[in-house]
Structure 1
Amino acid sequence: MLVTCAFPYANGPIHIGHILEHIQADIWVRYKKMLGYNIFFICSDDSHGTAILLKSKELNISPRKLISNIFKQHIYDLRCFNISYDNYSSTHHVENLNFVKKIYYKLKLNNLIQLKKTIQLYDIKEKIFLPDRFIKGTCPKCYSKNQYGDNCSVCGSVYKAIELINPISNISNTKPIIRNSWHIFLNLSIVQNKLYQWMQTGVLNKSILNKMKEWFNKDLKSWNISRDKPYFGFKIPDFLEKYFYVWLDAPIAYISTCKDLCKKNKLFNFNEFWNLNSNTKLYQFIGKDIIYFHSLFWPAILEGINFRKPTKIIVHGHVTIQGSKISKSQGSVITVKKWLKYFDSDSLRYYYASKLSSSIEDIEFNLKDFSNKINSDIVNKIVNLASRSSSFLNKYFDNMLSSKLENIELYEIFLKVSNKIKYFFENMEFNMVIKEIIKLSDIANQYFNNKKPWTIIIKNNNNKLQEICSMGINLFRLIMIYITPIVPNLSKKTEKFLLTSLNWNDIYTPLLCHKISVFKCLYKRIDLNSIHNFL
């Protein structure tokens, strides 16, 4: 299997809205790897476009220097959150340039490339043709204000920038004019029928599929794959002043990053993976704001060059704060760097997992809800089970577990739940995984409360005391195996505490006659001071 995330844009740091997707995909990849699947996880920096050019100009450095700096920062941020990429590249990589050129020529050979005269919005003050994301105006369909030049975030309509009502340039805050320019287009109508067949193979969930069908009610329009200078990207062969549009070379980097991985590790035959009848699987995680590109333009490119298309496109909603999407312009950005000054990465991974499902609903981030969930679930329920069980084992049994389980039936109940948890992991219902794990934690703690091991000390029944506390440790171990893909740092600490690895295949073999370490704090409570300082 090959798993990809959409690429972080190389004009700024990763924030807690961006990291949602990487966490979602990483949890799924870690789960699959625990089960022994041959799975590879790749991503890349999206390093081209007008925004890169403008940002570098603002910082008075070259675009290459900017993307190099951001690349290092992104790598660091992702590693801090334990995002387990097998290869992380850049769309500016020479491997990607080679593929972009080859694919362009192949599309041209297959009569999918057209040259057409277009009318575009032009910023007179800055002397630049305006990209869609640098224009705002009123939606021509639902009349919502403050919408970008390519699609409306309110009604979901897709349109041309020149159709916007009262457009304004975000660069100069002036009204743009209309200008002519020759551009290169990808003729989507030629591959329309095959795309329609493909999108009904289960690759998309129903709500997205229904939206896509609306686009196919009429013939698909040709897609502009070129941009005028000034621009930062790959130049188009045979056109001195034209560049490939960022949305052409960015998805092609899924292919080039895979190729780069193959070269580095010699993992599998690249052609076998990308050929039309490949038996391998391709899973792509994206946000709902880029569905149009990944479910239409990207597969159109693949169809045009006779490459395989994605097996499944997994779409998530946005992270919102007080009901609004996290936005730089609105000042609601919380960078990963800032987050890690006050909290750890496992806490956000757990919080997002508790809210992530297969739907594309937005996830509301709330600090009070976050701290309550972490303290209640991880500290008071999961970790507390290990703490209270191990205290007796340390004091009376030199940290040695008993030779048998005190309650085999209860252990088997925990084992049976593994199938349900697997089902939820498989289908991206991470919120349901968390619910099942907390149910098990409640049952395990209730078991410990009912057995009242502190009263057994008085009765001097050492064997029974050891068995009850060992039972608590074994139930904790099962819970931690189930939750390992979600909280990798806590899992590593747990492995050091239990002196054993947490493997899914080991759940049927309880830890018996096994010595564990002295319990040390596995997880700290989130206090109010952290929250106040954070705010």
Structure 2
Amino acid sequence: MKNLSYTPPAKSRLAMTTALPYANGDLHIGHGSEAIQADIFARYRRLAGQEVIFVCADDCHGTAVELLAASQNKSPERVLQEVGARHRADFARAKISFDAYHSTHSPENEAIAFAFFDELKRGGHLQRKTVPQLYDEQAGRFLDDRRVRGTCPDCGRKDQYGDACECGATYDAIQLVDPVSTLTGARPQVQDAEHLFFKIEAFAAEIRAWLASGAVQKEVRAKLLEWLDEGLRDWCITRNGPYFGIPVPGEPGLFFYVWLDAPIGYLSTLQHYLQEKQSNKNWADIWSDENTETRHFIGKDIINFHGLFWPALLRGAHVPLPDRLHAHGFVTVGGHKMSKSRGNSVTLAQLLDQLDADALRYAIAARMGDGITDFNIDAEGVAEKVNSDLVGKIANIASRLRPIIAMSDNLLSDSLPDSDLFDQALVLAGEALACFESVNTAAAVRSIVSLADLTNEYVDREAPWTVDDPDQRRAICTQALAQFRLIAALMQPICPGLAGRCLAVFGLSKVGWDELAIPPTGQKITIPPRLFDRIDAAALSCLGEIQSGKETVQ
């Protein structure tokens, strides 16, 4: 491909995931942003000809689901069914192209959790300990992490759960300062309880080697190494009943801690996908295959679990580590971080009720870089970016040429009048592809917009509406529309709806990256009257109803 710099994926298959949304409420804008970032990457790789298996699931176990079910006088299973249906519907509306969406409350997840547990026991990686634990005398039960809140012992932030703080620190519930039971409001007492602990320090060297391989971003690696240097504490992997989760085999009254079976959900959903496809392979055949690349997309608030505990758990079960762990920053709305627990989050459904899915995807893509820096969206910014770029620059190329090419019977010339200009366009296309590969969608957007600017400048300069010669007029339109097709192809991962309408101009449903350099010459085209509608910032009320003057966190 002339002047198109592009290297296809090294492996023939990609198995990738987003973090599993917890099943105690609706998806919020943070879930949507992560899913959009990952979906853009999945679509980009599919267009490279790679087999992509993109999976996710609801994270179903733990106290929060149990409490939600009790508050609604429903069984946890009923709540999971209802929440799961809403999650699937919202992701579908956002055009997230999951190949499978499942649940951690499933036979597949239980079976793989049991298999992991057996491997940890067999390898001598578990230790039984009697530990002090918070006990609510009024409720007559031990308090798991989600039934107690207090002040973080690391940063001093108030109203934190009993296992992890919003600052990223992890700890035992007994370490909380001024703990309070969420069941009764009483201050819990300390009693001894017997639990199983996973000795993850034994895997520190393997985790360090994995980090050195480039599996995570530099800033994530630095934080994980900081925790490694402090030493890895044994991790309690059990909780006392009653607890909504997977029972520990041979341990009456104990259940797996949700953070043990939740990441296993990545593998069990892969297993579910293969079963639905009636494949003769199982999850391990795919995950461990040397021709499979494995990737996780997560938020920076859970890098401790995914960068330390999960790799140790995988190695304890003799499973290869993921090739890449990509973390992203928090999304803020109008400068405020979202928090479902604090009641000021914007749901994905609210956004999609007021905003076209392609517009939302573009607004998110334009702001998400390849690092963990937080990014902001607001009504004015979204409207300005969508109207300026999608309507004013990209769709406008076709719209302004529609009456002119119609004068030539909508027939493109047999060749391009300016091959050097098309080569410049291909350079920008190559830059966009490189940005997709590095998961820098904001930079990819900039390259695509630069290509649109290059094309609009060409149309302005040549002014085909002033040209009397029909062949010359047609040639100018052909040049600009060939570059428009290039733009449409590059927009496929970001805005599949808009890209589809733009490619339909040329009678195409998709364009793979190996077809980018082929200009659409000598063919009939059909440009519709409208390709994308402007949006009104005033209509995006869900982005303007955020409380101010209040500390909020993702």
TM interval, shorter chain, is: over 0.9
- Is 1:461 the equivalent of 2:469? yes
* In 1: Cα distance, 2:336 partner to 2:187 partner: 27
How far residue 128 of structure 1 moved from its aligned partner, in angstroms, is: 4.2
* In 2: Cα distance, 1:10 partner to 1:531 partner: 27
- Is 1:374 the equivalent of 2:386? yes
* In 1: Cα distance, 2:226 partner to 2:538 partner: 50
How does 1:210-249 map onto structure 2 within 5 Å?
210-249=222-261
Q: Is the 8 A contact 2:57 2:104 kept in 1?
A: yes
Kindly report the root-mean-square deviation, in angstroms, between the aligned alpha carbons of the 2 structures: 1.9
* In 2: Cα distance, 1:200 partner to 1:170 partner: 42
Deviates more, 1:237-246 or 1:501-510: 501-510
* In 2: Cα distance, 1:352 partner to 1:124 partner: 48
Counterpart residue number, 1:520:
529
How far residue 398 of structure 1 moved from its aligned partner, in angstroms, is: 2.5
Structure 1 residues 310 and 479: CA distance shift in structure 2, 3 A: same
* In 2: Cα distance, 1:84 partner to 1:528 partner: 28
- Is 1:90 the equivalent of 2:103? yes
How far residue 196 of structure 1 moved from its aligned partner, in angstroms, is: 2.5
Counterpart residue number, 1:496:
504
| Helix, strand or coil at the partner of 2:96 | coil
Counterpart residue number, 1:449:
460
The AA in structure 2 aligned to 1:62 is S
Q: Is the 8 A contact 1:137 1:164 kept in 2?
A: yes
The AA in structure 1 aligned to 2:123 is N
The AA in structure 2 aligned to 1:474 is A
Q: Is the 8 A contact 1:278 1:308 kept in 2?
A: no
* In 2: Cα distance, 1:191 partner to 1:296 partner: 9
Q: Is the 8 A contact 2:15 2:287 kept in 1?
A: no
Pick aligned residue for 1:477 from 482, 485, 501: 485
How far residue 516 of structure 1 moved from its aligned partner, in angstroms, is: 1.5
Q: Is the 8 A contact 2:287 2:294 kept in 1?
A: no
Q: Is the 8 A contact 1:56 1:62 kept in 2?
A: yes
The AA in structure 2 aligned to 1:496 is A
* In 1: Cα distance, 2:65 partner to 2:435 partner: 39
Q: Is the 8 A contact 2:151 2:159 kept in 1?
A: yes
The AA in structure 2 aligned to 1:283 is R
Q: With structure 1 as the length reference, what TM-score do the two structures score?
A: 0.94
Structure 1 residues 530 and 160: CA distance shift in structure 2, 3 A: same
* In 2: Cα distance, 1:61 partner to 1:452 partner: 67
Counterpart residue number, 2:84:
71
How far residue 532 of structure 1 moved from its aligned partner, in angstroms, is: 4.7
How does 1:272-421 map onto structure 2 within 5 Å?
272-275=285-288, 278-394=290-406, 396-421=407-432
| Helix, strand or coil at the partner of 1:243 | strand
* In 1: Cα distance, 2:149 partner to 2:334 partner: 23
How does 1:134-145 map onto structure 2 within 5 Å?
134-145=147-158
| Helix, strand or coil at the partner of 2:30 | coil
* In 1: Cα distance, 2:525 partner to 2:114 partner: 58
| Helix, strand or coil at the partner of 1:11 | coil
Structure 1 residues 238 and 491: CA distance shift in structure 2, 3 A: same
Percent identical residues: 36
Counterpart residue number, 1:253:
265
Counterpart residue number, 1:146:
159
The AA in structure 2 aligned to 1:416 is V
Deviates more, 1:30-39 or 1:254-263: 254-263
* In 2: Cα distance, 1:96 partner to 1:505 partner: 39
What 5-or-longer segments of structure 1 have no aligned partner?
Answer: none
Counterpart residue number, 2:548:
none
Counterpart residue number, 2:434:
423
Pick aligned residue for 2:70 from 42, 48, 57: 57
Pick aligned residue for 2:22 from 2, 5, 9: 9
How far residue 234 of structure 1 moved from its aligned partner, in angstroms, is: 1.1
* In 2: Cα distance, 1:76 partner to 1:488 partner: 17
How far residue 272 of structure 1 moved from its aligned partner, in angstroms, is: 3.5
Deviates more, 1:259-268 or 1:42-51: 259-268
How far residue 270 of structure 1 moved from its aligned partner, in angstroms, is: 4.1
Structure 1 residues 510 and 370: CA distance shift in structure 2, 3 A: same
Deviations 1:12-39 (A, max 9, x none): 1111111111111110111111011122
Q: Is the 8 A contact 1:390 1:469 kept in 2?
A: no
Deviates more, 1:372-381 or 1:118-127: 118-127
Structure 1 residues 85 and 528: CA distance shift in structure 2, 3 A: closer
- Is 1:22 the equivalent of 2:31? no
Pick aligned residue for 2:196 from 170, 184, 195: 184
The AA in structure 2 aligned to 1:262 is L
Structure 1 residues 496 and 48: CA distance shift in structure 2, 3 A: same
How far residue 215 of structure 1 moved from its aligned partner, in angstroms, is: 2.0
Counterpart residue number, 2:550:
none
Q: Is the 8 A contact 1:342 1:534 kept in 2?
A: no
Counterpart residue number, 2:9:
none
What 5-or-longer segments of structure 2 have no aligned partner?
Answer: 1-13, 545-554
How far residue 357 of structure 1 moved from its aligned partner, in angstroms, is: 1.3
- Is 1:117 the equivalent of 2:126? no
The AA in structure 2 aligned to 1:145 is K
* In 1: Cα distance, 2:284 partner to 2:146 partner: 35
Structure 1 residues 268 and 465: CA distance shift in structure 2, 3 A: farther
Structure 1 residues 358 and 532: CA distance shift in structure 2, 3 A: closer
* In 1: Cα distance, 2:456 partner to 2:212 partner: 46
How far residue 191 of structure 1 moved from its aligned partner, in angstroms, is: 2.4
| Helix, strand or coil at the partner of 1:136 | strand
- Is 1:193 the equivalent of 2:205? yes
The AA in structure 1 aligned to 2:144 is P
How does 1:152-191 map onto structure 2 within 5 Å?
152-154=165-167, 156-191=168-203
Counterpart residue number, 2:3:
none
* In 2: Cα distance, 1:400 partner to 1:130 partner: 73
The AA in structure 1 aligned to 2:395 is V
Q: Is the 8 A contact 2:382 2:537 kept in 1?
A: no
* In 2: Cα distance, 1:485 partner to 1:125 partner: 54
Counterpart residue number, 1:508:
517
* In 2: Cα distance, 1:308 partner to 1:52 partner: 31
